[in-house]
Amino acid sequence: MSARHLVVHGTVQGVFFRASAEQEARRLGVAGWVRNRSDGTVEMVAEGDDEAVDALVGWAHQGPPRADVTGVDVTDREPEGLTDFTER
């Protein structure tokens, strides 16, 4: 079980990044949340099986088709026992 905090930079708002992240997380069985930040980035917490979390982090580096991801800050964190993935 692992957990990661991500901040995704680039053209990531207004391109269905949050909805796509939620869909991908649910497909992978990852819990957590995703939200837009006022600085134009997207923030995400991902928690679950190590391989599934790694896959979601990998997806975040590319995002949905209309996104232009220029960077992703990834920080390990303690799992909180989240059970669902939501948009905030």
Q: What is the pLDDT of residue 47?
A: 98
Domain count for the chain, please give it: 1
Q: How far apart are CA 79 and CA 66, in angstroms?
A: 31
How high is the pLDDT of residue 24? Answer: 98
How many Cβ atoms from other residues are within 10 Å of residue 84's Cβ?
A: 11
> pTM score > 0.75 for this model?
yes
* Catalytic option among 4, 36, 66, 77: 36
Residue 65 lies in domain: 2-80
Output the pLDDT for position 44. Answer: 98
Which residues pair with residue 6 across a beta bridge? 44, 74
pLDDT band at 84 (very low <50, low <70, confident <90, very high): very high
Please report the pLDDT score of residue 66 as a whole number. Answer: 96
Annotated catalytic residue 4 = no
Residue 60 lies inside a defined structural domain of this protein: yes
CATH number at 36 reads 3.30.70.100
Query: Has residue 85 been placed in a domain?
Result: no
pLDDT in tens, 29-55: 999 999 999 999 999 999 999 999 999
Active site residue 18: yes
- Residue 86 maps to a domain: no
Q: Domain for residue 87, yes or no?
A: no
pLDDT of residue 79: 96
